[in-house]
């Protein structure tokens, strides 16, 4: 079998490019492309008899669907694992749209997931009337902790002058965003009072407001967000996913400011175990997204962060990196903040100041698996691996 080989296809664009190389005509490429892309979609908590309808319809289209074995004989609910090509999904969606039992809505949700998985570009509306194109390349968010007690660089940039100089250094090294934090959220830390947090971050915001850089504020507090946005900040990076301060969401709507919603089981739902890691993360992030949209936020003002290290074990953090792509199902840009985190140290048996290589490896894997923005301490090195990883992952052929 000289020259014969398997072909890796990640999305519809790649499938069409590969078919084009064969020499097929344009109509054939458009027709065959959806047959070359295989997707697995997990549906949650479907009534048993409805799940069996879905299963039979998917089987009729040449696909497959796994349900709980008890669902064939008893009332109740089951998850459904759909397996098929884009072509088979299109046929399934068409058929389910004509069915009762709220299957039309479910068909729309399946179609939305499939479309989201193919999405590469996300225009983000920033505060101050600015915008940000996310997706054409990986963006670098430089971490600037102006605290005495952050897990990695606590105290390094506590002095405002030193912090401002570090911010400008990160800009020169290729940072697209500077993320300023004035309250440590590391495990077992006590959150400082809001006036202390504000006194730390506000001078930095004021100093950088005239720089050609996007300013993000790492806070869950509405009052801190308000003061920083009024001084020129563009993004609020909320570890609380809108759940730690009820004043934050109406403020974001009022100021037309975007938010990064981070999954968190350290400050939220503390010590609650996961029964299905990725599904739980998706469900909890979706709940915050839904709350934001209903309150009046624009979809173009929302980004998502899986919350590496926030209520996850070492193994769970590694699984999230491996399966990060699944978060694309929600249809929002993915921000990955794994730099120097303890799961890297525990994996490599290295202290916090010896985690550069591990952090870079995780950043590259994250980009390969769907991260659009990487939040990092080491901007210069991370910029290089982002450019290299982008060059490989976005290459046609």
The catalytic residue positions are 341, 375
Q: Are 265 and 310 in contact (CB under 8 A)?
A: yes
* 3-class secondary-structure state, position 206: helix
Record the tokens describing residue 370, joined without a space: 């769907």
Q: How far apart are CA 52 and CA 33, in angstroms?
A: 29
Q: Tokens 């978060």 — which residue?
A: 327
Q: How far apart are CA 175 and CA 142, in angstroms?
A: 6
The b-or-e profile of 103-138 (16+ CB within 10 A means b, else e) is: beebbeebbebbeebeeeebebbbbeeeebebeeeb
DSSP alpha helix (H) spans, the chain: 12-22, 26-32, 48-60, 86-96, 103-118, 160-173, 194-208, 222-230, 248-255, 277-295, 314-322, 342-348, 356-368, 379-393
Q: Are 48 and 77 in contact (CB under 8 A)?
A: yes
Q: How far apart are CA 169 and CA 166, in angstroms?
A: 5
């Amino acid at each position: 079998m000289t020259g014969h080989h398997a072909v890796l296809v990640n999305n519809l664009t790649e499938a069409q490019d590969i078919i084009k190389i064969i020499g097929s005509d344009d109509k054939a490429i458009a027709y065959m492309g959806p047959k070359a892309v295989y997707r697995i979609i997990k549906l949650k908590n479907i009534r048993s008899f409805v799940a069996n309808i879905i299963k039979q319809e998917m089987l009729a289209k040449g696909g497959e669907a796994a349900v709980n074995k008890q669902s064939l004989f008893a009332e109740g609910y089951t998850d459904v694992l759909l397996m098929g090509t884009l072509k088979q999904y299109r046929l399934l969606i068409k058929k389910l749209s004509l069915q009762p039992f709220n299957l039309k809505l479910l068909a729309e949700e399946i179609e939305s997931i499939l479309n989201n998985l193919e999405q590469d570009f996300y225009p983000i509306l920033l505060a101050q009337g600015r915008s940000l194109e996310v997706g054409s390349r990986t963006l670098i968010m430089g971490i600037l902790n102006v605290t005495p007690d952050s897990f990695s660089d606590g105290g390094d940039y506590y002095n405002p002058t030193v912090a401002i100089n570090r911010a400008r250094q990160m800009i020169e090294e290729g940072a697209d965003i500077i993320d300023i934090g004035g309250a440590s959220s590391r495990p077992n830390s006590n959150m400082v009072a809001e006036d202390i947090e504000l006194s730390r971050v506000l001078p930095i915001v004021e100093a950088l407001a005239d720089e050609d850089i996007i300013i993000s504020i790492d806070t869950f507090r509405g009052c801190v967000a308000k003061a920083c946005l009024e001084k020129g900040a563009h993004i609020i990076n909320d570890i609380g996913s809108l759940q730690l301060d009820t004043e934050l969401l109406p403020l974001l709507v009022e100021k037309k400011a975007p938010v990064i919603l981070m999954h968190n089981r350290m400050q939220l739902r503390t010590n609650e175990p996961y029964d299905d890691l990725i599904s739980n993360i998706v469900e909890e992030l979706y709940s915050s997204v839904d709350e934001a949209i209903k309150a009046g936020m624009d979809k173009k003002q929302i980004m998502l962060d899986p919350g590496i290290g926030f209520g996850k074990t070492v193994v769970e953090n590694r699984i999230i990196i491996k399966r990060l792509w699944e978060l694309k199902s929600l249809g929002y840009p993915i921000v990955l903040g794994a730099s120097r985190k303890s799961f890297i140290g525990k994996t490599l048996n290295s202290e916090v100041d010896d985690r550069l290589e591990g952090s870079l490896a995780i950043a590259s894997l994250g980009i390969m698996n769907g991260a659009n923005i990487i939040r990092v301490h080491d901007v210069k090195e991370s910029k290089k691996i982002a450019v290299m990883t982008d060059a490989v992952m976005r290459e046609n052929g």
